[in-house]
Amino acid sequence: MAADSWDPALYRRFETQRTQPARDLLARVELESPRLVVDLGCGPGNSTELLVNRFPGAEVIGVDTSESMLETAGERLPGCRFELGDIGSWTPDRAPDLIYANAALQWVPDHATLVPRLFGLLAPGGVLAVQVPDNRHEPSHRLMREIAASGPWAATIGDKAAERLAVLPITAYYDILVGAGGLAEVWRTIYHHPMDSAAAIVQWVSSTGLQPFIKPLSEAEKAGYLQQYEAAIAENYEVRADGNRLLLFPRLFFVGVKA
């Protein structure tokens, strides 16, 4: 996705919920004193901050394609090094002990090639820890595609759904890591985030998955698209007993340890 599509302020509105999977991923990383830790797709630095706190003796580097996200991350963690870079072609100066990628690899193609390449960059005993959203078939994302294809904006949007790539089956990540000679752990979690309105769900996805759909639109087209999308969200996410709507968000996790 284009770097200037990211809005750090909008992304951080739901920072607590977005950071929980990052915490859960890091909890499964068994490293004592890594020297070099890299946060691929670091965003506004919320995941990087977890790494800094967990490994205070390590050099922690954040990498992202978005200059606005890197600027926000640098303000948050002025003692860290942040670099502009594309995960698909990124190569470190020296072998990291931990490559950590929370909700980033879904924007990078060809995981069958990418994952073993990243794993091969690790130092001996190093860890590759990854979390990717697995919500393409949830109403939140299915409705994006349906409304994009059915409205007067269809030609303008085009096949923007292709920018958000389908992740592999969870068993494929296991096979890739063990096939590369590593030890692997894989799991899937469905988070249930209470959201106070359909509009809040729209705001959640507006900073990430919805961007490829709305970015090409004029202001009038964007308003029409979002109006239809929010109405469809309201129909597909029931109001619960406390007045909230639960946003179901499946995520895949995998951790590989290099021999």
pTM given for the model? 0.90
What is the predicted pLDDT for the residue at 15?
81
What pLDDT is recorded for position 120? 98
- With tokens 């068993």, the residue in question is 171
3 state DSSP class of 218: coil
Strand partners, 79: none
**Quick one: pLDDT at residue 11?**
57
Domain range summary for the chain, segments of one domain joined by + = 3-257
Using alpha carbons, select from 4, 3, 41 the residue that is nearest to residue 22: 41
Out of 3.40.50.150, 3.30.390.30, 3.20.20.100, 3.40.640.10, the CATH code matching 3-257 is 3.40.50.150
Residue 40 backbone phi and psi in degrees, to 5: -85, 130
pLDDT-flagged residues of the chain (< 50): 1-4
pLDDT of residue 40: 98
- Residue 184: per-residue pLDDT: 98
Number of other CB atoms surrounding residue 196 within 10 Å: 11
pLDDT in tens, 66-84: 999 999 999 999 999 999 9
